[in-house]
């Protein structure tokens, strides 16, 4: 089995799978399969082109409850062994491992029932984890239903670590799910691209080209590493993106909220996050949202505080950031960014 880019060559076999009742979408199932058959009949080339969407140019996604949400960049590859066998999708926000709340994981896959149990999903996931490393992601997140033993098996065979169980938001059906994390690169065994020294804990991944270097052969500025080759590219991106004044304002506000609730030791992460994400986002408001989401995910997933920042009205859930405000899903706006009160 190999992964292929969706193209004309494989389309007829893909259509057969859809017609036999298979769906690439594990959440919306048959609805998506019918929609795709219609889109293929209307304009096959447009359908194929939409399988690779690194610019998130596609139309909004429809959730289970009918809500529409913006797409994030991503693509799909097809499993092929002479016939169509399944599909695997990868989506991510450049520069961060954080995902919007309506997007459960970076990777989703489905194998047609008549080709299951041959190791195809396991091999496909292995290849996508490698893609993710090449896109600069340090890890990918995946989720499965608690009773989806086959999928858990696929993740565990790719060295996935079980993180915990959670309940999905209402637009995704309020269902229990198990979350897993797969690290993309074993830097402990890598060596520096420039001097070939084994890296161990001294591995610094260049934010621009994603190659790894020892600390003598890269520059670390505001906690973010780049190699000598990429210095100019990084400066150019910084100059073209959100201005220094806006970045400083964002850092000050987020750092204030982290400091007020968790203490100053945790505030350094904010500067690093902003220095990284400004290379991938040129709109100040979007940058602010991404920095908050990334910092929040870091604090949750690192088990520093899994309900940060705690809702003052309810004991067991975090506030979510949107439109410049920390919000409780029930009570709405709680505090502006930069104005969270100390606990
Ligand atoms: C999950 C899925 C993608 C696995 O695809 P696959 O190509 O059959 O998976 P693999 O052959 O790589 O590996 C499956 C592993 O799970 C095991 N497995 C398969 N079906 C199983 C079942 N019903 N119960 C327990 N284990 C099962 C297999 O034995 C295999 O492990 P092994 O190699 O140690 O024997 C496929 O079952 C599928 O498409 N399911 C529907 C869609 C879906 O659930 N997608 C994932 C959503 S998170
Ligand atoms: Zn070196
Ligand atoms: Zn580089
Ligand atoms: Zn609340």
Look up the CATH number of the domain holding residue 215: 3.30.40
119 and 6 within one domain: yes
Ligand 1 pocket list (CB less than 6 A): 26, 109-111, 116-122, 144, 148-151, 153-154
Structural domain containing residue 328:
244-336
Residue 150 lies in a domain: no
235 and 252 within one domain: no
267: its two tokens: 């505030």
How many whole angstroms from 107 Cα to the centroid of ligand 4?
30
116 and 28 within one domain: yes
The structural domain count of the chain equals 3
131 and 14 within one domain: yes
126 and 90 within one domain: yes
Q: Are 22 and 114 in contact (CB under 8 A)?
A: no
Residue 175 lies in a domain: no
Counted residue by residue, the chain has a size of 343
Nearest to 168 by CA among 179, 180, 177, 156: 177
What is the DSSP code string of 21-53?
T--S-TTTTHHHHHHHHHHHHH-HHHHHHHTEE
Count of beta carbons in the 10 Å neighbourhood of residue 287: 20
Query: 111, 137, 163: which is the final residue of a domain?
Result: 137
How many whole angstroms from 151 Cα to the centroid of ligand 1?
5
Nearest 5°: phi and psi at 327? -130, 145
How many whole angstroms from 191 Cα to the centroid of ligand 2?
8
Which ligand lies nearest to the CA atom of residue 158 in the structure? 1
Which ligand lies nearest to the CA atom of residue 328 in the structure? 4
Which ligand lies nearest to the CA atom of residue 313 in the structure? 4
Output the pLDDT for position 261.
93
How many whole angstroms from 234 Cα to the centroid of ligand 2?
20
CA-CA distance, 337 to 316, in Å (whole number)? 21
> What tens digit of pLDDT does each residue of 31-75 get?
999 999 999 999 999 999 999 999 999 889 888 888 899 999 999
Residue 155 lies in a domain: no
237 SS3 class: helix
Residue 106 lies in a domain: yes
**At which residue do the structure tokens 């610019």 appear?**
55
Residue 102 lies in a domain: yes
Pocket test for ligand 1, best of 1, 120, 153, 172 (most atoms within 8 A of CB): 153
104 SS3 class: coil
Query: 137, 158, 174: which is the final residue of a domain?
Result: 137
Nearest to 89 by CA among 150, 45, 131: 131
112 and 6 within one domain: yes
Residues that place a CB less than 5 A from ion ligand 3 = 206, 208-209, 227, 230
> What tens digit of pLDDT does each residue of 140-166 get?
999 999 999 999 999 999 999 999 999
Nearest to 155 by CA among 127, 182, 187: 182
312: its two tokens: 């003052």
Ligand 1 atom 3: the closest Cα is on which residue?
Answer: 110
Give the pLDDT mean for 311-336.
93
Identify the CATH number of the domain in which residue 14 sits.
3.40.630
Atom of ligand 1 nearest to the CA of 124: 12
Q: Could you tell me the pLDDT band of residue 304, with boundaries at 50, 70 and 90?
A: confident
259 and 208 within one domain: no
Whether 341 shows a pLDDT value over 90: the answer reads: no
Nearest 5°: phi and psi at 111? -110, 140
106 and 221 within one domain: no
CA-CA distance, 56 to 131, in Å (whole number)? 18
> What tens digit of pLDDT does each residue of 175-223 get?
999 999 999 877 667 899 999 998 888 889 999 998 999 999 999 999 9
Residue 85 lies in a domain: yes
The pTM for the full model equals 0.82
226 and 248 within one domain: no
Query: 137, 156, 175: which is the final residue of a domain?
Result: 137
Ligand 1 atom 23: the closest Cα is on which residue?
Answer: 150
């Amino acid at each position: 089995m190999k992964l292929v880019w969706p193209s004309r060559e494989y389309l007829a076999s893909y259509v057969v799978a859809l017609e036999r009742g298979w769906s690439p979408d594990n959440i919306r199932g048959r609805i998506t399969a019918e929609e795709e058959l219609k889109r293929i009949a209307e304009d096959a080339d447009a359908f194929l082109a939409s399988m690779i969407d690194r610019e998130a140019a596609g139309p909004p996604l429809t959730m289970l409850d009918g809500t529409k949400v913006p797409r994030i960049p991503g693509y799909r590859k097809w499993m092929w062994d002479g016939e169509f066998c399944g599909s695997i999708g990868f989506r991510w926000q450049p520069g961060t491992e954080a995902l919007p709340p309506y997007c459960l994981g970076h990777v989703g896959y489905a194998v047609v029932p008549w080709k299951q149990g041959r190791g195809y999903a396991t091999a496909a996931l292995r290849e996508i984890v490698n893609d993710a490393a090449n896109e600069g992601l340090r890890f990918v997140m995946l989720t499965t239903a608690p009773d989806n033993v086959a999928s858990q098996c696929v993740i565990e065979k790719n060295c996935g670590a079980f993180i915990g169980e959670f309940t999905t938001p209402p637009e995704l059906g309020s269902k229990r799910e198990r979350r897993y994390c797969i690290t993309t690169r074993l830097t402990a065994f890598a060596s520096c691209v420039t001097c070939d020294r084994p890296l161990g804990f001294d591995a610094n991944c260049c934010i621009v080209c994603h190659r790894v270097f020892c600390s003598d052969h890269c520059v670390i500025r505001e906690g973010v590493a780049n190699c000598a080759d990429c210095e100019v590219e990084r400066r150019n991106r910084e100059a073209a993106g959100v201005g220094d004044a806006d970045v400083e304002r964002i850092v000050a506000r987020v750092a204030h909220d982290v400091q007020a609730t968790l203490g100053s030791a945790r505030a350094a992460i904010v500067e690093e996050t902003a220095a990284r994400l400004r290379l991938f986002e040129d709109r100040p408001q979007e940058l602010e949202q991404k920095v908050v989401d990334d910092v929040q995910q870091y604090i949750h997933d690192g088990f520093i505080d899994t309900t940060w920042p705690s809702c003052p009205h309810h004991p067991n859930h975090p506030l979510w950031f949107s439109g410049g405000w920390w919000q409780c899903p029930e009570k709405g706006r709680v505090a502006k960014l930069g104005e969270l009160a100390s606990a």
